[in-house]
């Protein structure tokens, strides 16, 4: 029974850990963090209601032109 629980919970913990790593990368304006969070946001969309809201919001914000410019300028300097 413990193995089944671990098999179910481990992927969720991994995804949440990746979200934390991506969030820290966003705070440091790393372009790879933006890509990572976009991928995780697309994966969250089929998980209503919170996952859908998070996914749509993250995609809308991270795909804006001004956000892309912010991360591009951070990569240059």
Q: DSSP assignment, residue 77?
A: -
- Average predicted confidence (pLDDT) for the chain: 92
Rounded CA gap, 76 and 26, in Å? 16
* Average pLDDT value for residue range 3-8: 92
Positive or negative torsion for Cα 56, 41, 48, 19:
negative
> Which pLDDT score, from 0 to 100, does residue 75 have?
67
Q: State residue 76's pLDDT score.
A: 59
Q: Give the mean model confidence (pLDDT) for residues 55-68.
A: 94
Model confidence at 20: pLDDT above 80: yes
Which segments of the chain does DSSP mark as H helices, in order?
A: 2-27, 31-44, 50-62, 65-76
pLDDT, residue 71, reads 87
Domain boundaries, the chain: 2-76
Rounded average pLDDT over 22-43: 94
DSSP state of 64: S
């Amino acid at each position: 029974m413990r193995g089944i629980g671990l098999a179910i919970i481990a992927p969720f913990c991994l995804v949440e850990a990746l979200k934390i790593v991506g969030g820290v990368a966003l705070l440091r304006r790393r372009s790879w963090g933006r890509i990572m969070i976009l991928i995780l946001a697309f994966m969250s969309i089929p998980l209503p209601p919170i996952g859908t809201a998070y996914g749509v919001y993250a995609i809308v914000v991270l795909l804006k032109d001004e956000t892309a410019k912010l991360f591009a300028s951070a990569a240059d300097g």
